Amino acid sequence: MPSVKNIRPIISLVSSEDSQVRAFVGGTAVLPDRLLENSFVEFSQGKIRKISAIPKRIRSDIEVIDATGNYVTPGMIDIHVHGGAGADFMDGTHDAVAKACEAHLLHGVTTIFPTTTTGSESSIYAMMQAVASVRKESLSVNHDATLLPHVEGIHLYGPYFTPEKSGCHKKDRCRTPVRSEFESYFKTGLVKIATCAAELPGCVDFYRYAKKRGCLVTCGHSNASWSEMAAAHKAGMSHVDHFWCAMSSVASVRSRLGPPMQGSMLEFVLGHPTMSTEVIADGQHLAPELLEFAWRMKGPRMLCLVSDTSRAMDMPLGKYAFGNSSENIWIYNDGKVGRSEEGGLASSVVGLDHCVRHTASATEIPLVDVIRMATLTPAERAGIDQQTGSIEVGKRADLLLLSKKLFVKRVVRAMAEPEVR
């Protein structure tokens, strides 16, 4: 079963009140544009303070963390994730959200965007309330719940899907965006990533509203044509969820709209440099050549790695609820991937660290780009790159120590600055 490699990583929290100066010394730092061997990465008070080669003399007041033979990387950022360790964010309870978040921190995810499914309006709102509760506790420096990733916001992923591309989501839960519903979600202030299929009535209103709220606006579970994508892009949509999965193709658009054949989401994303996308690099959803093709076509600045993992992550083989268990969607963890009751691919069962390892080992993509696609690129797309996502002076000290085989050995999670209301 794919999981954390038996050894639990060391988790450290550093706050703005912690004046102890620490440094990862001797590792290979993965910077946004290069690898820096024999590096010195100093941090204190929750911020990165210095990046250099190892100095000839290290001050006696600095706590040295030996990184020799390992990589020092930014903390990973997962913008599309449903749960883990037996808990789904859509369970809608504080304990479930905290449990799933904690599980992903062990996989090196220092920033997370809990993701909805096609649940009922009440279950989506309950999920948002639970996330808000966990987020509030995670900002408290004196509470055990601080050993969680930064919860930057919610990815409103379901319910605005087209039924013919619903995947493992319930067809009868897919619906068109109605302003009275989606406006109530946005008014929580939690939605930072917002998905809607580009052919649905009301989608343009949704996209414009989400864009004005500062969200990363995305299209997913859609059978949209090129022209529908163009209208969506004009309204603010700039990202497509899990490339190649539950999305239109020339053939599917022709089946829906008839001849002549038209461009689909695939061609629109590849044809527009302002469009970004993401891949589920679990080794099951996409073959290595597709991962490499996406990287070659979009480049590391417009391609994200996501886990899209379910509550089955780090759990035994068997049957698991997808979303809120009362809504009767079931997937099966076969030890490699989640499968729907019909046998099709469903959510993954591995963490983002597994996706990084698989991409690095199965493709020719340089390690700098692999790490970027799991850190800085999602930070940029979500609009948080000024705070986190790369090893740069002044950014949060969200840092990982990875083995040469890219297993997580240590996690440093910086305490965010208190929010001003």
Confidence category of residue 341, pLDDT binned at 50, 70, 90: confident
Distance from C-alpha of 175 to C-alpha of 160, rounded to nearest angstrom: 5
Provide DSSP, 177-229: --HHHHHHHHTTT-EEEEE--TTSTTHHHHHHHHHHTTPEEEE-SB--BHHHH
Residue type, 214: G
Under CATH, domain 74-382 is a member of which superfamily? Metal-dependent hydrolases (3.20.20.140)
Q: Band of the pLDDT at 325, cuts 50, 70, 90?
A: confident
Poorest-pLDDT segment among 55-59, 65-69, 170-174, 295-299: 170-174
Q: Does domain 10-73+395-414 have CATH number 2.30.40.10?
A: yes
Distance CA 99, CA 122 (A): 21
**If DSSP states are collapsed to H, E and C, what string results for 232-267?**
HHHHCCCEECCCCCCECCHHHHHHHHCCCCCCEHHH
For 258-287, what is the mean pLDDT?
98
Question: Any bridge partners for residue 193, and if so which?
Answer: 155, 216
Name 53's bridge partners: 39
Average confidence (pLDDT) over 124-140: 91
* Distance between CA atoms of residues 168 and 329, nearest Å: 8
CB 310 within 8 Å of CB 346:
yes
What value does the mean pLDDT take over residues 251-255? 97
Indicate whether 4 pLDDT > 50: no
User: What confidence tier does 141 reach under pLDDT thresholds 50, 70, 90?
Assistant: low
Kindly state the average pLDDT of the residues 259-268: 98
* 72 bridge partner residues: 29, 401
Q: What is the helix (H) or strand (E) element at residue 300, kind and residue range? A: none
Please count the residues of the chain: 421
Q: Is the pLDDT of residue 167 over 90?
A: no
Q: Examine the pLDDT at 191 and tell me if it is beyond 70.
A: yes
Which band of pLDDT confidence, cut at 50, 70 and 90, is reported for residue 2? very low
Rounded average pLDDT over 313-339? 94
Whether the Cβ atoms of residue 90 and residue 117 lie closer than 8 Å to each other: yes
Nearest to 198 by CA among 190, 186, 210, 188: 210
With a pLDDT cut of 70, the percent of the chain lying above it is 95
Mean pLDDT of 142-157: 81
Residue 415: the pLDDT is 85
Category of 389 on φ-ψ map: left (φ > 0), alpha (ψ -120 to 50) or beta: left
Answer whether residue 408 shows pLDDT above 70.
yes
Of 47, 111, 38, 33, which Cα lies nearest the Cα of 72? 38
Beta bridge partners of 41: 24, 51
> Residue 323's CB: how many other CB atoms inside 10 A?
33
Q: What is the mean pLDDT of residues 225-250?
A: 98
- How does residue 145 score in pLDDT terms, banded at 50, 70 and 90? very low
Cα–Cα distance, 318 to 321 (Å, whole number): 10
Interval 32-54: pLDDT, tens: 999 999 999 999 999 999 999 99
Contact predicate 383/216, CB 8 Å: yes
Q: In the chain, what are the domain boundaries?
A: 10-73+395-414, 74-382
5: confidence class by pLDDT, cuts 50, 70, 90: low
Q: Is 366 strand, coil or helix?
A: coil
In the predicted structure, residue 143 carries a pLDDT above the cut 50: no
Confidence category of residue 7, pLDDT binned at 50, 70, 90: confident
Residue type, 9: P
pTM score:
0.96
Rg (CA), the chain: 21
pLDDT score of 327: 82
- Between 201-210, 273-282, 326-335, the lowest mean confidence (pLDDT) is in 326-335
